[in-house]
Amino acid sequence: MIGVPEILEDPKFIAAYEIKGEPSWNKTLNEKKQSTDIFFVQDGSGQCVIGEMIFTVARGDIVIFPTLSSYEIISSVQTPISGIVISISNVQISGMPKGYLTSPDQCPVIPTDKDYSSTSRYFSEIYSEYQHPTYGSNEMIESLTRTILIVTIRKLYLVKPKISPSITHEVKKYIEEYYYQDLTLSDLAAIVYVSPYHLAHIYKEEMGTPPIQYLIQCRIDEAKRLLKYTNLTIREIALKVGYPNGIYFNLLFKKLTGIPPGKFRKIFSE
């Protein structure tokens, strides 16, 4: 099929790891590895750190860690993450460097949606055969590994990408709804499945301001409203708009408005 890369070499299974959702679970699985790792989130949520980029992941997501990249999987305390990681060598698809399934401007997080059950079964069967090898285990693992690669490639290259206007408006709407959360550019990019660089570029081009700057503006606008119309303390307002550090909130508010929040409240209460 045109536009869909081909698997040029037979992938070689190396190992499988089970991630158990402990509330405070935080582990670096590998550093400077020689494999391509694929993580399937079977339950819960958390964050995947790949180099300097952070992606929010949840149940049903496939996460691709390219070869020679260090990464970390961090579990959410509220919804502990669990799933299975498989390590593969000899990954080579047409149009990509060896060990890569995505280009740098593609988001490495892919939702499986309606294919959750079958994808989860493939990963679980690999892990079971790897942990309890018996007659034919190697053949089953190799077959399932190739199946997972095919499923991942289908998801990457057969799903129609979202067009830029929908991406920017979806991110804008998300910021306006969840401005009080601890959001990074990588978090926002993961929502619409593009790279942070791509999101920053198209968002500023279409909206006139970077997404993080818009996030800050939404927080400050809400802080102004709360200062005018409520009796909440400045510390309480800072927390409500996403700034646990009250000193930082005061400095940022003054920088953007020209006056500290206390003076702002006094002016509008007179």
Least confident of 24-28, 104-108, 258-262: 24-28
Provide CB contacts within 8 A for 61, sequence distance 6+.
40, 41, 109, 110, 111, 112
State mean pLDDT over 142-155. 94
Give pLDDT, residue 22.
60
Least confident of 65-69, 159-163, 235-239, 250-254: 159-163
Q: What are the structure tokens assigned to 169, written together?
A: 């408006």
State mean pLDDT over 141-158. 91
**pLDDT at residue 162 is higher than 50:** no
**pLDDT at residue 15 is higher than 60:** yes
Domains in the chain (CATH in brackets) are 12-157 (2.60.120.280), 163-270 (1.10.10.60)
Give pLDDT, residue 159.
60
**pLDDT at residue 29 is higher than 60:** no
Provide CB contacts within 8 A for 19, sequence distance 6+.
25, 39, 73, 75, 81, 82, 83, 84, 85
User: 71 has which bridge partners?
Assistant: 30, 50
Confidence of residue 52 (pLDDT cuts 50, 70, 90): low
Pair 78, 56: CB distance under 8 Å: no
Give pLDDT, residue 270.
66
CA distance 138 to 189: 38
Confidence of residue 23 (pLDDT cuts 50, 70, 90): very low
Give pLDDT, residue 27.
42
* Closest to 143 measured CA to CA, from 8, 6, 12: 12
> What is the reported pTM?
0.61
Rg of the chain on CA atoms, in Å: 22
**pLDDT at residue 241 is higher than 50:** yes
Burial zone of 165 (CB within 10 Å; 0-12 exposed, 13-18 middle, 19+ buried): exposed
Pair 88, 50: CB distance under 8 Å: no
* 95-109, 123-137, 243-257: which is most confident: 123-137
Provide φ and ψ at 238, rounded to 5°: -55, -45
Provide CB contacts within 8 A for 159, sequence distance 6+.
none
Identify the residue whose tokens are 């390219």: 66
Coil/strand/helix, residue 111 = strand
CA distance 108 to 45: 16
Least confident of 1-10, 105-114, 188-197: 1-10
**pLDDT at residue 118 is higher than 60:** yes
Identify the residue whose tokens are 């799903």: 159
Q: What percent of the chain has pLDDT over 70?
A: 89
